[in-house]
Amino acid sequence: MDSRVKFRHLQTFLEVARQRSVGKAADALAITQPAVSRTLRELEEILGAPLFEKDGRGIRLSHLGEIFLRHAAESLAAVRRGLDSVALAQRTEGPPVRIGTLPTASATFMPDVVAQFLAAGTGSQVTIVSGDNKVLLDGLRTGDLDMVVGRLGAPERMAGLTFEPLYSEEVAIVVGLHHPLVARRNFTLSALADYTVLMPPHGSVIRPFVDRLLLTHGIPELPRTIETVSDPFGRAFIARHDAAWIISRGVVENDLAEGRFVALPVDMSETRGAVGLTIRAGLEPSPSLALMRQVIRDQVAARSGRF
C-alpha cells in the first residue's frame, strides 16, 4: 500500500460510500464537509483515479471506486481487529511467568529485566524464585518453574533440559575492607586456612569449580568452613568478622564496585563458567515467556562489557 494512504483516507472513503453523500458522511464522522471533500481529493490523487461520480442529486462509486471499496474495507477491518486485540490483551491476564534465578542473576540484571517486562503490559504475573541450582532445575523439570537463569548444570542434571548460554563469569574470593589479608603482600590461597571461609555447598553448581581451584593450589580441605547459599548471611558475616567468602562474582559485583568488599588477588580464570537460560526441551513458550526470554537477552547484551 502507498505509504501516503492514511487511516483517515480509508475511514472517510468508506463512510462516503456507505452514505452516498458527502454531507451525511461529514455528520457521521463529526467533521466538516470541506474536510471530507479534501480527504477524498487527496485519496484520488494518490490513487490517480476518480472514486465517485455524480448520480442525480447524490453521488455513487465509480467503477474504480467499486474495486477499491473491497480492499479498503478489508484493510480498515484488519486495523480495527488489531486495535481490539491489543485492547483485549491489556484487559486480560496473560499466563504466569515463573523464573528460577541463581543469586548471581538476581543480584545483577534480573531486577531490570523484570521492570522492563512489566512495562510491556502483558498482564502476566511474574514469580521469581532464587535458590540452589539443583532445586531450581528440579522445579523446572516438574513444571513448577518455566525457566532457570544461572550457570549450566552438571550433565546428569540436564536430562530433558536445554541451555542457551548468555555470558560467562568467574568465582571470586571476597573479604571485608579491614580483613588482615587485604594488607598482606604476596597473597596465596594457603593463607585462607587461618580464617573461616564461607563456601558454596556441596551439590551447588559452582562447588566443583571451587574444589578444583583449591586442589590445584595444594589445598585438599580448609579447616573452618561454613556452607551457605544465603547472600544476606554472607554479606553480614564477612562485614563483621575476619572471614572470606567464595561466591560467584556477579553476586557481589555491586559490593565490590561500591567499595564495601575487596576481592583477593587470585587468578580465578579456571572457575569461569557459562551463565544462561535453561528451559524444558521441546517447550513451546507462551508469548509472555518468549518476551521474558528476549528481554533477558537484551539486558545481558546491554551489559556485555560488565561481565
Q: Is the pLDDT of residue 89 over 80?
A: no
Read off the CATH number of the domain in which 267 is found: 3.40.190.10
Q: Are residues 137 and 282 in the same domain?
A: yes
Kindly tell me if the per-residue pLDDT of 68 is higher than 80.
yes
Based on the fold, state whether residues 224 and 285 are members of the same structural domain: no
Type of residue at 304: S
pLDDT above 90 (res 113): yes
The residue segments making up the domain with residue 64 are 7-91
243 lies in the same domain as 262: yes
- Has residue 91 got a pLDDT over 60? no
CATH number at residue 29: 1.10.10.10
pTM attached to this predicted model = 0.62
- Which residue, 44, 63, 91, sits at the end of a domain? 91
Instruction: Tell me the pLDDT of the chain averaged across its residues.
Output: 88
How many domains does the chain divide into?
A: 3
255 falls within a domain:
yes
For residue 27, tell me if it sits in a domain: yes
Return the number of other C-beta atoms located less than 10 Å from residue 89's C-beta: 14
Residue 15 included in any domain: yes
207 & 181 share domain:
yes
Is residue 277 helix, strand or coil? strand
Residue that is last in its domain, among 91, 116, 147: 91
**Predicted local distance difference test score (pLDDT) of residue 86:** 65
Element (H, E) at 162: strand 161-169
Task: Report the pLDDT value the prediction gives residue 122, as an integer from 0 to 100.
Answer: 84
Locate all alpha helices (DSSP H) within the chain, ordered by sequence.
Answer: 7-19, 22-29, 33-47, 63-91, 103-106, 110-119, 133-142, 180-183, 207-216, 231-240, 249-257, 287-302
Task: Read off the DSSP letter of residue 96.
Answer: P
The answer as to whether 234 is a domain residue is yes
Per-residue pLDDT, averaged over 208-235, amounts to 92
Residues 6+ apart with CB under 8 A from 129: 98, 99, 100, 101, 136, 139, 145
222-281 pLDDT, tens per residue? Answer: 999 999 988 899 999 999 999 999 999 988 988 999 999 999 999 999 999 889 999 999
Q: Residue 90: pLDDT band by 50, 70, 90 thresholds?
A: low
Residues 112 and 251 placed together within one structural domain of the fold: no
Residues 183 and 260 in one domain: yes
**Quick check: is 2 in a domain?**
no
Identify whether 1 is part of a domain.
no
d(CA 16, CA 40): 9
With respect to residue 54, please indicate whether it lies within any of the assigned structural domains: yes
Residue 227 lies in a domain: yes
Same domain, 21 and 69: yes
